[in-house]
Structure 1
Amino acid sequence: MSQASSLIKTLKRQLRAQGKTYADVAQWLALSEASVKRLFAEQHFTLARLECICDQLNIEFVELVQAMQNDEQRLQQLTQAQEQSIADDRELFLVAVCVINGYSFNEIHHQYQLSEAECTQQLVKLERLKLIDLLPGNRIRRRVAANFRWRPGGPIQCFFQQYLASEFFRSRFDSDSEKLMVLNGLLSPAGNEEWQQTMQRLAKEFHALCERESSLPIHKRFGTTSVLAVRQWQSVLFKEYARVDR
């Protein structure tokens, strides 16, 4: 990815974090919203326009560049070995999920039955895995990207499928904070691929929303898990009735 692309990507992340839209940028730059969308799509900004947007976001241009550099150094995925070391240690797994979701040291300690020494021990392990930087005063600086995800088919995903999937779906999904949609239809390979791309966009929107709300106090947010899945599949129930010669 070019530096220009990285800078624009970081700018968009800064806008989302402050809840700003293309409409806001259009107003700042005295342009139409369509023109602003084209600027982002073509990644064609003058320095003056970038500085104007930074002013409205109350950040210095140099801070935007620094944020870009920090983003480029952030982890989007762990190695197989790193994930395995987390999956093999339940306390480490718990603390890893917490810090990825922005918990502070005190929030982990107060919410879970871990002593300060145990919390510190697990955070040191995560620092060795380069998932975080552990700063003075037990402050935590995450080193994961906003779009960080576990490895497809990796140890964490396998752990979820083996131990947590049945628990996750053991619900009526009828409360205000829950929803289950089961979609079934016939798609071509091209249609299936298009739907997977839509799922990728939904995943990006989920990460963007989490980032935008990251400044809210922890007691105003709750753990939210969304499972997006698609596969070419037919229930065993129907397979039993299928003609063998098809």
Structure 2
Amino acid sequence: MSECHQLVSELKKQLKLHGVQYQDIARTLDLSEGSVKRLLAEGGNLSLERLGKICQLIGMDMAELFQLSATSHAGLQSLTHDQEKQLVEDKALLLVAVCVLNGYRFADILEQYHFSVPELIQKLAQLDRLKIIELQANNRIRLKISPSFSWLAGGPIQCFFQQQVQKAFFASHFNEDGEKLVMTTGLMSLPSNQRMQQRLQKLVSEFYATCREDENLSMNARHGTSMILAIRRWQFPLFDEFNPVQKS
């Protein structure tokens, strides 16, 4: 895929994520919906002026779009089981990994956590060898993971979360500012369930996009924030005795 088509592909993804319709673009560019569809389909005929106007509709500047396009078509999708195991077995390394995944810079980590400069460089060098980051000159950190990066299902990180983090995370009434817990129930077909999963994944992408928007704020203005989304075909085991007997 050419860089131009990668850019348009990312633009379409962001338009869909922000709920912007072809008719909205048509009004902004003073074009027909058909012309907009052709413009986005062809890609190469999209001028920078028109691109800038479309970006304004989603509250994004062109530089952000170019960056998203560059990162979304490259990067690490996941770690191996052994790599995740290395993180879990070294709590300091795991902490530094979580920091860099959350956008911390070298100075930010030093300011917030008790590391010496040599210790932190050592941990970052380990993450570099794991291909999670590229440790650049002057201790600059460049993430090498894809926006669709995820931990292994049932892997060491997920198990660590379930054993060590989950209980502490839910030890709250979720009634303070910055807290929200919603549980909904209903009857849903498997295809509808899969569509909901796709929408949840878009919300995850929006979460990380929002984090990127705040990168230029000071650390005092940003706070560690976690979001948990879960959906599955599941029934409370307590009621298993009321389930119909499955015939063989």
* Equivalent AA in structure 2 for residue 222 of structure 1: H
Structure 1 Cα separation of the partners of residues 32 and 147 of structure 2: 26
- Cα separation, 2, equivalents of 1:51 and 1:202: 29
Equivalent residue, structure 1, for 2:58:
none
1:202 Cα offset (Å) = 1.7
Structure 1 gap ranges (5+):
none
Structure 1 pair 216–191 and aligned structure 2 pair: CA distance change class (3 A): same
- Residue 195 of structure 2 is matched in structure 1 by 194
The answer to which of 27-36 and 1-10 deviates more is 27-36
Partners of 2:159 and 2:9 in 1: CA distance: 31
For the residue of structure 1 that corresponds to 2:154, the secondary structure is: coil
Aligned residues of 2:135 and 2:141 also touching (Cα < 8 A): yes
Q: Does 1:221 align with 2:222?
A: yes
Note the 1:86-125 alignment, pairs <5 A: 86-125=87-126
- Contact 1:199/1:228 (<8 A) preserved: yes
Partner residue, 2:29: 30
Is 1:148–2:139 an aligned residue pair?
no
TM-score, normalization: structure 1?
Answer: 0.78
Normalising by structure 2, what TM-score? 0.78
- In the TM superposition, residue 233 of structure 1 has moved relative to its aligned partner by 2.1
Q: State the identity %.
A: 38
Say whether residues 1:7 and 2:4 are aligned partners: no
C-alpha separation in 2, matches of 1:37 and 1:234: 46
- Alpha-carbon distance in 1 for matches of 2:245, 2:145: 51
Alignment check: 8 A CA contact 2:4 2:44 kept: no
Deviation of 1:178 after TM superposition, in Å, equals: 0.4
Q: How many residues align?
A: 235
What is the deviation of 1:30? Answer: 2.6
Structure 2 gap segments, 5+ residues each = 56-60
**CA 1:202 to 1:141, structure 2 compared with 1: closer, same or farther past 3 Å?**
same
Q: CA deviation at 1:244?
A: 6.4
Q: Does the 8 A contact of 1:10 with 1:68 survive in 2?
A: yes
Q: 4+ runs of 1 displaced by more than 6 Å?
A: 12-15
Structure 1 residues 50 and 133 mapped into 2: Cα distance closer, same or farther (>3 Å)? same
8 Å Cα contact 1:74-1:144 kept in structure 2: yes
Provide the alpha-carbon RMSD of the alignment.
3.5
- What one-letter code is carried by the residue in structure 1 that aligns with 2:222? R
- What is residue 128 of structure 2 aligned with on the other side? 127
From the superposition, tell whether residues 83 and 51 of structure 1 become closer, same or farther in structure 2 (CA, over 3 Å).
farther
Larger RCO (CA within 8 A; separation ≥ 6)? 1
**Distance in 1 between residues matched to 2:32 and 2:125, nearest whole Å:** 47
